[in-house]
Structure 1
Amino acid sequence: MRRLEPEDLVLVLGARPPSDVGAWLRDGLRDAVASGRLEAGAALPSSRSAAAGLGVARGTVAAAVDELVGEGVLESRPRSSVVVADLALRPRGTAPGPARPGVATERPASVGSPDPGLFPRAAWARAVRDAMRELLDAELGYPDPQGLLVLREALAGHLRTARAAPVEAEDVVIVSGVAQALALLGQVLAGGDPAGRVVVEDPASPGVVEQLRGAGLDVVPVPVDERGLRTDGLPDAAAAVVTPAHQFPLGVVLAPDRRRELVAWARDGDRLLLEDDYDAELRYDRQPVGALRGLAPERVALLGSVSKLLSPALRLGWVVAPPGVRDALVDAKRRADLGCSVPEQAAFARLIADGAYARHLRRARLTYQRRRGLLLDALARDAPHVPVEGVAAGLHLVVRLPDGDAEARAVSALRAAGVPAEPLSGTAARGDTRGVVVGAARVQGPAVPRVVEILRAAAVGAGVGV
């Protein structure tokens, strides 16, 4: 077993920041384990020697180590030492190896994917264990298609606090992610009046548009500017899908007057607003704007999931549905798949009830805020002409580029560097939108200079080496 020296930690952690040293230590160790820079089985130095070597308080080191042991990143061995846990043996975020026959390879990460290295494995394992112990025999039959009551109660409480949304357990329908929520709501809307017309933001998530069209709906794009969806002259439609807290992909926030105008449009025409609240809890410079549902609970269906905050591998999401939609939505869910997995619902409810979900969100916010800040600082210093758009929130950045060639070069080079990237033109109905959407959640350490180099070259129209 290799024992690390304090000097090893200095090399992987880098320079100590002037403040928030505890977060720097936790995030740096977590990132080093996830990337493989600290190998599985390596023993950490004692808290006393680590503190002396890093120039921090011993209690700061002990607190960071305890937290990472709780997450399963590190392992405490009695009468021995703290070591890098075996769970980290295969570095995460690396390119998959050659596929074996019959074995699926990992899908490329999307620009909105969280860092899988931050998943709270130990807390989730405890939640699964405790939830299974508490489940009644009757709850292991076919599930309630609306969702497990204990999860709906836990989510209602969380959303009232975190999103300032009026929510009761009876309003919540558990689904297999926002993709299924849109597909099921699309079925409900297909019989609406005017039948089959839904407003979407332009640009918007291609996945959202795909789900709506797959349900047989006519998608009507409406432009987005620096104040969000243009609400002047909204067309007649049965519904609108919006991302008011953090528009995807442009990252703007829907202005207060437009929020009111959008709600008035919905009320005047007996229309439904589908509020895709995909990453609203990842706001870094202030408290996130409250959910649109708070203005009109009878007209707004609030959609959310764990895909951006925990992992897209957990196919768990929710719809906070208005009374006039809820029964039809539950019936559509029953017909689709009878209901979501009960053990996973119970585990997520336990994660919320124990406070582990809130603790994870706090850690994730700090980590992503720090990574975003490092990337933006590097761009401001080394490529000040690169225009980064959007508020300080979420898992992605948007950079406008001069033309389609620059867009294609940037996307290709970023993907080759292992950074999730999508062409901005692929999100827009208009043909004049060019740029790149960069998945910033996994950009850290040595990758930062390469991302800056690629974006700088693309912004000035230079060639980008792959």
Structure 2
Amino acid sequence: MKDIIFTFHEGSPKYKQVYERFKRWIEQGELLPGEQLPSIRRLADSLQVSRNTTLMAYEQLMAEGYIQGESRRGYFVNRMEPLFLREAPSRSVRPASPEPSVTVDFRAGAVDQAHFPLKAWRRMLNRVLAEKESFLYGDPFGERRLREQITKYLFQSRGVSADPDAIIIGSSTQQMLLQLGHVLREDHSAVAVEDPGYDGAWEAFRFHSFGIRTLPVHETGIDLSHLDRTDAGVAYVTPSHQSPLGVSMTIRQRQALLNWAASREGYVIEDDYDSEFRYTGKPFPALAAIDSSRVVYLGNFSKSFLPGIRLGYMVLPPGLLDRYRTRFHNFETTASLPNQLAMARFMEDGEWSRHIKRMRLVYKRKMMQLISVLDRLFGGQVTMVGKESGLFLLIKVHLPYTEEELIRRAALQGVRVYPSSAYFICNHPDRPMIKLGFSSLSAEEIGLGAELLKKAWV
């Protein structure tokens, strides 16, 4: 393939522009299946960018299946199914309304690639793959080296005192809830969930035919008064950073919830999904730090490190641990063994704590910038919800549009924003709420995205 040269535009990271250009060429058939791409070095030299820029673009293309890398040979275009190819419209047919290109994507759940410790993580993986241990099946409940590191981390960061043997490693929060549900269903038929809340958890509970009972959550906090009027014996909550409203549960509420669980001989499932990123004040102690006998503690590495690593964990109380181990000791782990061992090394070498400290500052700056620019551009036309922590911001929009209209109008300006309606069961808000993730965006993209939203909505 000849050297590639094109002009970059402002407002979008260069790696993203390289990725989008190659993606378009592949989808439009300008790059054919099996065709070899320039090497990382050659492409970087052609475009006059850093090798890290071209590497990140290629890795994104590989992650989405557009290309594949072959050892010592290079990168090659994959064969795409017709469903995923954008065929050029027939000359006799005029396309109705072409989908506008996306300039800024406020997608939550992505990471800041510019600050990702790629070299350190690659070094850990290379060390792990040189060991015989990584070629085995591994412990069905998770590698002990990683469980020991999680034990130390939870005690230092969240005040949770956990035995490594009480920790279960899995691939995701939802997957662990599915397995946990097998055990909880023996004694309980209904579970109380936050409304609004994490819909992925609801689906896991419904899979086991749990009755779903709702606990209304407002911008001022959770309403626990409904608990005593339900038949639930299990409650699933996100007390440190409620998903999606961002409020935190007070100490009094935490104690009341634990007392309820004890009175029902039930359990509280505490999803501490992004407790690392609190920007104002000190975080409240985890529920599991107050009473470990009635709390199942859930954590993961997806929000704070890398979604694709597929690593999560839960700490089981004594009343569930033996039953869980008996039920699942003949099942293989769902988490990647090399990723477990690499993360254990990453934590042992202090890279994890350095990464968290660095990203807390990075994400705090992004949150503050998003709040500032929205306040400047919209003033009282939007209410910002969940400003103290997390990797996204909810905005309640006080304009004469529905959620669908807000999303459509933003898309016409090249901005992708996301709905919140899927998180509500009965407790619907009085105005539409839009979810804005900022973790993967640069400062320039945040500012540009807000300007374009102003143009779209006002």
Whether TM exceeds 0.5 here: the answer is yes
Matched, 1:230 2:223: yes
Matched, 1:167 2:167: no
Q: CA deviation at 1:176?
A: 0.9
Matched, 1:277 2:272: yes
8 Å Cα contact 2:273/2:300 also seen in 1: yes
Q: CA deviation at 1:37?
A: 9.2
The match for 1:442 is 440
Matched, 1:214 2:207: yes
The match for 1:406 is 402
Per the alignment, in what secondary structure is the counterpart of residue 405 of structure 2? helix
The match for 2:374 is 379
The match for 1:178 is 173
**Could you tell me how far apart the structure 1 residues matched to 2:107 and 2:10 are?**
27
Q: CA deviation at 1:305?
A: 0.8
Matched, 1:111 2:104: no
The match for 2:304 is 309
8 Å Cα contact 1:202/1:428 also seen in 2: yes
Q: CA deviation at 1:232?
A: 1.9
**Could you tell me how far apart the structure 1 residues matched to 2:79 and 2:402 are?**
32
**Could you tell me how far apart the structure 1 residues matched to 2:449 and 2:65 are?**
21
Matched, 1:124 2:89: no
The structure 2 residue matched to 1:100, chosen from 63, 74, 80, is 80
**Could you tell me how far apart the structure 2 residues matched to 1:103 and 1:335 are?**
39
8 Å Cα contact 1:371/1:441 also seen in 2: yes
The match for 1:241 is 236
Q: CA deviation at 1:126?
A: 1.0
Q: CA deviation at 1:12?
A: 8.0
Which piece of structure 1 moves more, 420-429 or 376-385?
420-429
The match for 2:194 is 201
Give the AA of the match of 2:453: I
Q: CA deviation at 1:301?
A: 0.8
The 3 A distance-change label for structure 1 pair 389 and 100 is same
The 3 A distance-change label for structure 1 pair 12 and 289 is farther
The match for 2:256 is 261
Q: CA deviation at 1:33?
A: 5.5
Per the alignment, in what secondary structure is the counterpart of residue 232 of structure 1? helix
Which piece of structure 1 moves more, 435-444 or 293-302?
435-444
The 3 A distance-change label for structure 1 pair 263 and 180 is same
Q: CA deviation at 1:117?
A: 4.5
8 Å Cα contact 2:112/2:441 also seen in 1: no
The match for 1:57 is none
**Could you tell me how far apart the structure 2 residues matched to 1:169 and 1:364 are?**
27
Q: CA deviation at 1:302?
A: 0.7
**Could you tell me how far apart the structure 1 residues matched to 2:270 and 2:377 are?**
38
Matched, 1:393 2:389: yes
Per the alignment, in what secondary structure is the counterpart of residue 342 of structure 2? helix
Which piece of structure 1 moves more, 335-344 or 271-280?
335-344
Gaps of 5+ in 2: 1-8, 20-39, 42-48, 67-77, 86-104
Percentage identity across aligned positions? Answer: 29
1:292-322 deviations in Å (ceiling 9; x for gaps): 1111101111101111011111111100110
8 Å Cα contact 1:304/1:319 also seen in 2: yes
**Could you tell me how far apart the structure 1 residues matched to 2:58 and 2:257 are?**
48
Give the AA of the match of 1:307: S
**Could you tell me how far apart the structure 1 residues matched to 2:262 and 2:50 are?**
59
Q: CA deviation at 1:274?
A: 0.6
Gaps of 5+ in 1: 1-10, 14-30, 39-72, 75-81
Which piece of structure 1 moves more, 413-422 or 178-187?
413-422
The 3 A distance-change label for structure 1 pair 101 and 37 is closer
The match for 1:69 is none
Higher relative contact order (CA 8 A, sep 6+): 2
Kindly report which structure 2 residues correspond to 1:128-167, keeping only aligned pairs within 5 A, or say none.
128-134=125-131, 136=133, 140-167=135-162
1:205-236 deviations in Å (ceiling 9; x for gaps): 11111111122211111101244321224123
Q: CA deviation at 1:116?
A: 4.3
Give the AA of the match of 1:343: P
**Could you tell me how far apart the structure 1 residues matched to 2:82 and 2:326 are?**
36
Matched, 1:319 2:314: yes
Q: CA deviation at 1:411?
A: 2.7
Q: CA deviation at 1:188?
A: 1.4
Which piece of structure 1 moves more, 233-242 or 259-268?
233-242
Matched, 1:87 2:55: yes
Equivalenced residue count is 393
The 3 A distance-change label for structure 1 pair 255 and 340 is same
Q: CA deviation at 1:400?
A: 1.5
**Could you tell me how far apart the structure 2 residues matched to 1:307 and 1:230 are?**
29
